[in-house]
Each structure stands twice: as structure tokens, then as C-alpha cells.
Amino acid sequence: MKALHPPRWPVRWRIAVISAGLTLLILLVFALVVGRLASDKLSGDFRDEAQRTANGLAFANIAGDLQRIYELAGRAAGQGKVFIVDQQGRPFPGTDPSPFGPPRLDVIESDDYEVASQRLGVSNSVGQTYYVQYARNRSSLDSSINRLWLLLGLGVLGGSALALLAGLAVAQRAMRPIANLTAAARQVATTRDPSQRIPMPETDDEVAELAATLDQMLRELDAARGETQQMIQAQRDFVADASHELRTPLTSILANLELLEEQLAGQGADAEQIEMIAGALGSSRRMRRLVADLLLLARADAGRSGPRRACDLREIAAAALAEVRVVAGDRSLSLDAREPVIVECDPDELHRLVVNLLENGVRHTPPGSEIEATVAVRDESAVLEVCDDGPGLPEDAGDQIFSRFVRGAGPADLLADTGTGLGLAIVRAVATSHGGTVVAGRSHGGGARFTVSLPVASESLASVYMTG
């Protein structure tokens, strides 16, 4: 079971989120400290104000008239409540009872009130001492504290949001050179062209150093590729030259062997000698075929091409069909070509392409099969199609059948003694060198189908060919 991984975040978002998270943590600690201190200061000021009001009422210079003190205290209290009580909390006669109990000389909190008490400087006729109690509602204080926390919370959230945006902007700017490097590297990977250069950042930092390193790496890869291409080109030239040079001695060997075979046959030589000469002659012919195939492929790989001229693909196909019909046995070969199809080509190479496709059909179909070649113009391309009704291509064949030295075992492989495994590779090489393509598929009869598409000749070249 695969381990579950968290979704991948872009680096710029990680930087922005981390910076915003740190800012949130710092602002949160700051807000808690400041909010706590400010709340305590507001509460202390509120309690001190209540105590000062109680003290002011208690020390009012009113000569011994408690009723008068109560009336003045009630008017001076404003939004608060004032009570005059004795030490046991009993109200002064004629006044409202206090809900806050016996007086205490410090500020106490009772329900929603802060209650401050102070001893009066007067007493009644029997010497009993009275106290003034001043109670102030905490609603204004709580409202102020709530507003304070709200402002601090909004400040924390706003600061974190700004830190996120700022971090994202800074990260975006910092990551822009890396994004440029990524785009350049992706372009190199797509085109497989190490000659492209890496854009250098304006700043001299670690990103610039990375860009310089990548650029140097591409330069070295480009140089290595150039050296490899030169080496491969030299090898291709060598194979082409060697194959060309081998044709002359092979031709001489074949001529001598054929002459020797005729002489031995005329002199009545024994069967063993004739069989040895026939074997050597067959091997030499296969070698000549292999050298010819290698020469054609090597010339295609090296970019060497014979002279091109306007040719009628229909005529080339007809000539190839006549050549292959000799070894076709009981197989039926036909050509469907209703009009001339002019292409610019090397006629020898194109003839070899058609021959290879027809021989491939003969080699891999049983006796009595039908092999049909079609030449036509489709979608402004010259199309050669070779179909048969044989067993068809293997399911997993794919483009592998166009690889070199790949052979398939046919039900009646008449040309097995001369096959080199290069036939379809030559077909693709010739088609590619002429700017065309070749595709393998299944025919309507269930057999194999090979479709070669080539560019048609220009109108001027075609008209010259037709009038010539």
C-alpha cells in the first residue's frame, strides 16, 4: 500500500505561509501581553475612579446632616448608585437599603458593579458611625475592554494577512529567476537541444550561481554531443565507404565463381565439387546483398543521397512488381495505379523500397495469397500501399519491425536464404530520406498493410517530366 503524502505546495506559498505564521505568532503574543496590561490598567483606573468618588462624597463638608449628605451624594453619583449604611450594612433611616452588604474600605466587585466605601466624618445622635457606598456599573468598562480585544484581534489578523501578501510578493520575486531557469530547462528537455543558453539573473547570488552552473553544464553537454555526432558521422562515412569498396571485390568473386561453376559443369566435374562451388556462390550472393543493404543504410545515415529527379511512382512500382513476381511462386501480385504519380526521388532507392515491401509480403504469406500494391495521390501526398491477406503482423510488433536485423518467420519463407533482416529498415530509411513516412498496420483481409507517404513533386517539375 502506497504511503499517503500531503499535497505538494509551491515553494513561494510555503515561504509566504511560514512568514505569515511566524508573524501571526509574534502578533498574537504581543496582543495577549498588551491586551492583558491594557485591560488591567482600564480596570484599575475604573476602580480608582470609583474610590475617589466615594472619598469625595465622604469628606464633603456638610455639618452633621446625614440626610443632606445622602441627597448630595445621590446627585453627585451620576450614573452610579449611592447608599449610606452603618457598619452592619443597615441603611440610614429614610434611605434605600444597600444590596452590597456591610461596607469595606477597599473596592469590591459585586454582580455588575464596582463598590467603593468610605467612612463618613459625621455620626448620629447616639454616636453611631455611617459609611457611604458608591457602586458604579461595569458595563462601560467591559465595553471598552471588549473593543480593545476586538481591535487587537483585528490587528493580529490584518497584520498576518499583510505578512502573507508581502511574503508571497517577496517569494514571487525571489522565485522568478528560478521559474526562468525551470522554463529554460523544460525547453531544453522538450527540444533536446543543449545549445540553448540559460537566462542569467541580474543579481549576483546563489540563484545566479546555479544558473551559471547549469549554463556551463549545457555548454559541456553541447560540446560532448558535437563530439559524439562527429564520431558517429565518421563511423557512418566509414561504413558507407567500406561497403562501397566491398562491392568491387564481391562482384569479382561472384563473376569468378560463376565462371568456375560453368567450367566445372562443362568438364563433367563430380557432384561434390559442383555443390561446393554452388554453396560458395550462394554465400557470395548473400554477402553482396548484405553489403548493398548496408551501403544503402549507411548512405542514408550519413546524409548521402543519390541524384534526385522526377519519377513516376507507378512505373517504379510496376518494375518492382515484375522483378518480385519471378520468386512469388503461387502468390498473386497485382498493381492498382490508375494515373501517374510524380515524385522527386532517387529512382534506384525508391525501386529498392517497393521491392523490399513486395518481397516481405511474399516471404510472410502462404502459397495462394494475394499481394496488392496501390499507388495514388491522397491528401496531396504520393501514397504507396502494399497489402496482403496473410497472417498479418504480431500484436506487439509496433515500430520494432522497422528496426535493423529483425526477422520474422513466415509460413513460406522463399527468400530466407537471401534475407538480411534489413528489408523494412531500408524501407523506413528511404522513406525518411525522401521526406516521407511509412506506417505498418492490418489490411482489410486481416493481413499486413504497409503505407508509404511521400511528397509529390512540384507542379513545374511534374510538367517537365510529363512533357519530356
Q: How many CA atoms are closer than 13 Å to the CA of 57, on its beta-carbon side?
A: 33
For position 28, what pLDDT does the model report?
Answer: 92
Q: How confident is the model at residue 7 (pLDDT cuts 50, 70, 90)?
A: low
Q: How confident is the model at residue 127 (pLDDT cuts 50, 70, 90)?
A: low
Residue from 85, 87, 56 nearest 72 by CA: 56
Domain 306-467 has CATH 1.10.357.10: no
Separation between Cα atoms, residue 393 and residue 447, nearest integer Å: 7
Which of the residue ranges 3-12, 87-96, 117-126, 143-152 would you say has the lowest mean pLDDT?
3-12
306-467 matches 11-159 in CATH topology: no
Three cell numbers written together for 133 = 457606598
For position 215, what pLDDT does the model report?
Answer: 83
267 compared with 111, residue with greater pLDDT: 111
Domain boundaries, the chain: 11-159, 207-299, 306-467
255 compared with 7, residue with greater pLDDT: 255
Q: Is the pLDDT of residue 241 over 60?
A: yes
319 compared with 445, residue with greater pLDDT: 319
- Strand intervals (E) in 322-413: 332-336, 342-345, 370-378, 381-388
Please state the pTM of the whole predicted model.
Answer: 0.51
The tens digit of pLDDT for each residue in 404-422 reads: 776 655 444 434 444 567 8
Separation between Cα atoms, residue 131 and residue 120, nearest integer Å: 5
The tens digit of pLDDT for each residue in 151-180 reads: 999 999 998 899 888 888 888 887 787 788
Residue from 405, 415, 293 nearest 362 by CA: 415
Q: Residue 132: what are its φ and ψ, rounded to 5°?
A: -100, 130
The tens digit of pLDDT for each residue in 302-352 reads: 666 667 888 999 999 999 999 898 888 889 999 998 888 999 988 888 998
Hey, which CATH number is domain 11-159, 1.10.1370.20, 3.30.450.20, 3.40.50.1580, 3.40.50.720?
Answer: 3.30.450.20
Matching residue, cell 503461387: 330
Domain 207-299 has CATH 1.10.287.130: yes
Residue from 47, 53, 39, 121 nearest 81 by CA: 53
For position 210, what pLDDT does the model report?
Answer: 82
Q: Which spans in 192-205 are helix H?
A: none
The tens digit of pLDDT for each residue in 20-45 reads: 889 899 999 999 999 999 999 999 99
Element at 242 (helix H, strand E)? helix 206-267
Q: How many Cβ atoms from other residues are within 10 Å of residue 263's Cβ?
A: 11
